[in-house]
Chains A and B, each alone.
Chain A
């Protein structure tokens, strides 16, 4: 089957392309680019992308799909449905499933479940340590062979610098990036929101920015020492952004991602004690938010990742102190990126595509993705930058509805998501 995506505007930063091009898709791959005046091949299905942006498929390198183990929150199938509805052709689930994805069998299981669902590509992230207990290394080589693209202990970051150092040395042998959720738990323990004016006012225990900064600085020193690639997950503080900026300028192999809620909201949103404002790292101060905007603009931050963290409504109905950390994000991430970044002049469309596709594909070494050059895989995200829409959590395709963005209006979104040459989502 052949598909021609016609009349659209192609943005493919990896190929320095930013112009009107038609894309011919054949057998799940990009077969050719056609100029507007070229004769179209016979017998092709034509997708009219007039007025739309055609971009290499968006890759959300930080999600929680909850399968195996917590299928009441999300399954790989429901998570992938939410992903393609949000414009993501690929997602990378964190290993904090039950059992933990710390071995090749679980990694393979996740990929099989994704294949069964047939919606988005799933590239699992394996654990750094067995059961993410921070003690013994997990079998990274085996997991990589099974399809894992990075390692992380995500919400249970390795506290022991000695073990983290060996993990980074070992991961480097397999060219696996080590993704760290930077949080020194001795500083954050008991905290449920950002430590600052708002936590003082609301009487909630704070997580100081220092808890993130101190771990980021540790990781920079370890990356310099080991030569491994460290990737900082959901960077949330001005101090961490500055530390990464300096480390990059000194040649340390470091990358980082930011989550849409961190560039959109601040701790002011916690007023009213809505548990859908509780996540780790927490919503920070306005100064931190501005630092993230600057990092997205100047290239310090490499990727936008949603940290999609579904939780059941019953769990989020608990007291603020007791409710679990995390919010959903797959269906709102691109809308927030348009509304808060592109339309407010923080970044342009080229940079948006870099943050959501080019860079995640590059830093996870996803060959054939993150670009639409002929021969690459036909993962395509088609965007309408001007589309006005409202997110209704109750209509979400995720099993969970824990979002602070219910009822929020957006300008700009992904309207069609093509995965491996097939239309996986098309906005009605």
Chain B
């Protein structure tokens, strides 16, 4: 893998747009930032004098806090702006909002929005670097990066691993970003869940990308068990309760019986398999409580690495050079 090519792109819109070397560059940079959070004085001057705006059109305490801490630990000035969809309804267009913020000369805008493509549109008009903190069902690149960091920490590498992703695949930006990242770094991904949430042709996600001839990097499984069997990593997605109302599945109870991660299902994975969940968890629905609390579950590690990954992303987006391993 070529780690010499520097990560030059200032925007982080998605994993899909990145080369494998870019991804490794971000992960290596994040490794270097990790120990800052363990210090007594958790602050370095790397981004002193820089301004980061967290522009959240959609609520997310966890991701916003993680970005805010990341900015502050690098000594950037961080401002949080939460815009509810109701104030957007007052008539200011997305591009008006962007132009107003841009006029205040931030170095980086971290944006989350319920509509896919918003970061891409902002990136075209903004002078600040745009970092995607989740756009609709499209991508959530920092989540995939922190998942990758967690996997790397516990498995040593990503190349050659088998990863199962279970749940609401079609509406999940976490799934999309993870599939792009994991397959670019050489893992095989198997997805499963109710057919209403996991389209048969989902492997088209990677259409047009080049892989070794003998590899099927993304496989859609008919049964959850097929996806989990022999997996090194089992990633469980949060199930959105409103999907029940839209008739994607009949009840949470039935979902948990047929698709939830129980110890019995996890036994199909490799003995040393790890369990990831992007949070917040619905205990007893997509993941049984005893699985969530077991030593194989690395959910809090994910949160911890989230800060380091976001420090790396902000640092690189505002002009820093990546670490080379």
Contact = CB atoms under 8 A, between A and B. Distances in A.
A319 B118 contact: yes
Given A317-B94, A319-B94, A204 B204 contact: no
Interface string B96-121: 10000000000000000111111011
A355 B234 CA distance: 57
Interface string A293-332: 0000000000000000000001001111110000000000
Contacts of A205: 137
Interface in A196-228: 196-197, 200-205
Contact of A203 (B95, B138, B207): B138
A428 interface: no
A316 B136 CA distance: 18
B7 to A, nearest CB: 22
A364 to B, nearest CB: 38
A202 B120 CA distance: 11
Contact of B176 (A203, A272, A314): A203
Contact of B199 (A200, A314, A317, A321): A200
Contact of B16 (A197, A201, A321): A201
Interface residues of B, number: 27
A273 interface: yes
Contact of B204 (A201, A203, A272, A314): A201
B117 A319 contact: yes
Contacts of B95: 317
A196 B201 CA distance: 9
Contacts of B201: 197, 200
Given A321-B115, A322-B115, A204 B137 contact: yes
Contacts of B137: 203-205
The interface centre, meaning the residue of B16, B117, B170 with most chain A CB atoms within 10 A of its CB, is B117
Contacts of B205: 197, 200-201
Contacts of B199: 200
Contacts of A203: 116-117, 135-139, 173, 176
A284 B45 CA distance: 51
Nearest to A189: B246
Chain A, interface SS category: loop
B32 to A, nearest CB: 31
Task: Classify chain A: how many residues form its interface, as a range.
Answer: 10 to 19
Interface in A168-213: 196-197, 200-205
B115 A319 contact: yes
Contacts of B116: 202-204, 273, 320-321
Nearest to A273: B117
B211 interface: no
Interface in B187-245: 199, 201-202, 204-205, 207
Interface in B223-272: none
Contacts of A321: 114-116, 136
B325 interface: no
Nearest to B85: A322
A197 B121 CA distance: 21
A204 B207 contact: no
B141 to A, nearest CB: 12
A272 B93 contact: no
A196 B138 CA distance: 14
Contacts of A322: 115
Interface string A142-167: 00000000000000000000000000
Contact of B207 (A201, A314, A320): A201
Interface in A252-310: 272-273
A318 B98 CA distance: 12
B247 to A, nearest CB: 11
A197 B117 contact: no
Nearest to B57: A319
A409 B136 CA distance: 34
Nearest to A190: B246
Contacts of A196: 204
A317 B202 contact: no
Given A203-B173, A321-B136, A322-B115, A314 B121 contact: no
Contact of B202 (A200, A272, A319, A320): A200
Contacts of B173: 203
Contacts of A202: 116-117, 138
29 contacts: A197-B207, A200-B170, A200-B201, A201-B204, A201-B207, A202-B138, A203-B135, A203-B137, A203-B138, A203-B173, A204-B116, A204-B117, A204-B136, A204-B137, A204-B138, A273-B118, A273-B120, A273-B121, A317-B95, A317-B96, A319-B94, A319-B115, A319-B117, A319-B118, A319-B121, A320-B115, A320-B118, A321-B116, A321-B136
Given A273-B120, A318-B93, 17 more contacts: A197-B207, A200-B170, A200-B199, A200-B201, A200-B202, A201-B207, A202-B138, A203-B139, A204-B138, A273-B117, A273-B118, A317-B93, A319-B115, A319-B121, A320-B115, A321-B114, A321-B115
Q: Which 10 residue pairs spanning A and B have beta carbons closest together?
A: A273-B117, A203-B138, A319-B115, A203-B137, A203-B116, A197-B204, A321-B115, A317-B93, A317-B95, A320-B117
